[in-house]
Amino acid sequence: MQQYLNIFGINYIVMMVVAVTGVPGTGKTTLSKNLAKRLSFFYMDVNKLISKYKLSEGYDRKRKTKIVDIKKLNRFLILQIKNLKKDKKIKGVIIDSHLSHCLPKKYVDLCIVTKCDIKELSRRLKKKGFHKSKIKENLQAEIFDVCYNEALELKHNIIFVDTTKGFNINHITRAGFIRGFLG
């Protein structure tokens, strides 16, 4: 289940990096954890890393959210990816965040964008206790495909997963790019 790169007859193990992105409430974390478990990949929760390593630049009270410098976060995540690649036991990493698609393409093999029906997304965000203004902001981001369009700008290899009615992890792991990568 590992990817090999053959250079002059020598096989080198290549670690797969999967960025799972999408608007809050679309099922990124559930998908990421399931995918990491199914593929035996390392799971990276970017929100926890932002808190643990104090990567936020402050707090926006009006929007009720942490302010994150994307360039600073990317430098941190790239360093983490490089360190994980040194561990030959790790065959892949799943990066879980609505900002994971901001990583440069050269560090990401696959970008999975989670999508959800607007009514269902509104219900999920209300259940999570999001403020009305934050719900509106996230619904607009979903309507305008912000995560997808930003990932597209960075020329990522993208697949969509609609989580409105759940998802089948077997269908995702059999998707063309993952199947091709894992052999």
Q: How confident is the model at residue 9 (pLDDT cuts 50, 70, 90)?
A: low
The β-bridge partners of 60 are 65
Task: Give the pLDDT score at 170.
Answer: 79
Q: What is the pTM of this model?
A: 0.90
Q: Are 18 and 94 in contact (CB under 8 A)?
A: yes
Residue-level pLDDT at 177: 53
- Which residue shows structure tokens 């209300």? 126
pLDDT in tens, 41-76: 999 999 999 999 999 999 988 888 899 999 999 999
| Cα–Cα dist 104/166, whole Å | 29
pLDDT in tens, 94-145: 999 999 999 999 999 999 999 999 999 999 999 999 999 999 999 999 999 9
Q: Which CATH class is domain 3-182?
A: alpha beta
pLDDT at 26 over 90: yes
Cα 47 to Cα 28: distance, rounded to the nearest angstrom: 12
For residues 135 and 141, what is the distance between their CA atoms, to the nearest angstrom?
A: 10
d(CA 124, CA 107): 31
